[in-house]
Amino acid sequence: MEYTVRILRYHPELKPRPWRQTYRVEASGHERVLDVLLKIQSEQDPTLALRKSCGHGVCGSDAMMINGENRLACSTLMRDITGKNLTVEPLPGAMVQRDLIIDTDRFWSKYQAVMPWLQASEPAPDRERLQTPDEHEKIEESTKCIMCGACTHACPTSWANHDYLGPAALLKAYRFIFDSRDTATEERLQRIGSGNGLWQCYTVYNE
């Protein structure tokens, strides 16, 4: 099937403003949006810039806006695209460096701000620090976050307040606050309870 692919381009050395460029690409339903973008890059336009690493939904590097939704290009199949039109843009709410590549420095600084590592005041045991299945169940879902930034860059509060920690950093804080092996709960609570923390969320009081 032939798809019409519209990509929001930005190449400051060539043009001062972003522009939309259209490509025609043959793709089958089992191919991914990432495959289509790489096909454009290799066969039609080698100047197209994007990030990608593992290509299997683990690293999170190819998060972008696909037909209006923040998604991973490597996890989005062409058969899930409605119709024959595909629109690809960089993640919103961040400065674009070039084409589909955004500046992630602010995102990672927020991540670092919540101390995303295990802190334990007790001496290290001879083997690993153990926890029961029930204790691990409290944090299991939060450990699966791949830090792609899609949620933070879809968050209207993050658009309005660039210093707001955002959902990814807050989830990482949750992961360690509820980890039975960690002893830095109070310090993390102070950090997420700061002026740009949890209470800045516009929907935090909604049920």
Average pLDDT over residues 176-192: 96
Q: Which residue reads 């807050």 in tokens?
A: 170
Q: pTM (2 decimals)?
A: 0.89
pLDDT score, position 206: 61
Helix (H) or strand (E) holding 149: none
Kindly tell me if the per-residue pLDDT of 82 is higher than 80.
yes
Average pLDDT over residues 7-29: 95
Average pLDDT over residues 164-168: 95
* Helix, strand or coil, per DSSP, at residue 100: coil
Sheet containing 69-72: order of strands: 19-26, 2-9, 85-89, 63-66, 69-72
pLDDT band for 176, please (50, 70, 90 cuts): very high
Give Cα 70 distance to the centre of its chain.
Answer: 8
